[in-house]
């Protein structure tokens, strides 16, 4: 989407709709959630994290895995750093860069099965949910694609290989 917006010229029109609530959230719906995002796929993830952390009664733990091309592409990095500092026992963020700067100490390349195995809540945990949003290649590798807004499609990719069930994964 960002490429499309960048390529627009003055006078072109772009229509927006929404917000469209897709996954109704209630406090403590899950004990631990994981947010796996690529690029602008961070948008619904940030909305979900904000809903959780603005409610003092919600004790949900949140793990974010966020892939981008470069460090400059990391949207909302300041906001996520603030969540990590404010809720160090409940929020962790892991960043993956395809083209990292030399001093980068985080993960490099793409989001991998090994990284997910290391940082995500165990699939055998009773009350967890993994949310996925990003470009088509991310869906293909991580969870398989969604068929339509009302059909999540089959679970495939790294999450299936790691033992997560279709019910534990939600594709935005």
Annotated binding site: 1-2, 43
Please give the Cα distance from 104 to 71 (Å, whole number): 9
Q: Is 150 exposed, middle or buried (0-12, 13-18, 19+ CB in 10 A)?
A: exposed
Which residue positions form the known binding site for FAD?
1-2, 43
Pairing of strands 169-171, 107-108: unpaired
CB neighbour burial string for 112-121, b if at least 16 within 10 angstroms, e if fewer: beebbeebbb
């Amino acid at each position: 989407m960002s490429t499309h917006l960048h390529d627009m010229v003055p006078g072109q029109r772009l229509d927006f709709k929404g917000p469209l609530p897709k996954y109704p959230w209630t406090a403590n719906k899950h004990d631990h959630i994981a947010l796996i995002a690529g690029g602008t796929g961070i948008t619904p993830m940030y909305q979900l994290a904000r809903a959780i952390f603005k409610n003092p009664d919600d004790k949900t733990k949140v793990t974010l895995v966020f892939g981008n091309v470069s460090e400059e592409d990391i949207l909302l990095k300041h906001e996520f750093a603030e969540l990590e500092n404010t809720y160090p026992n409940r929020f962790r963020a892991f960043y993956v860069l395809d083209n990292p700067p030399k001093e980068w100490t985080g993960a490099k390349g793409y989001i991998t099965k090994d990284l997910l195995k290391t940082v995500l809540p165990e699939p055998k945990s009773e009350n967890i949910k993994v949310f996925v949003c990003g470009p088509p290649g991310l869906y293909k590798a991580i969870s398989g694609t969604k068929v339509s807004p009302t059909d999540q499609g089959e679970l495939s990719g790294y999450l299936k290989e790691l033992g997560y069930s279709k019910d534990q994964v939600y594709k935005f």
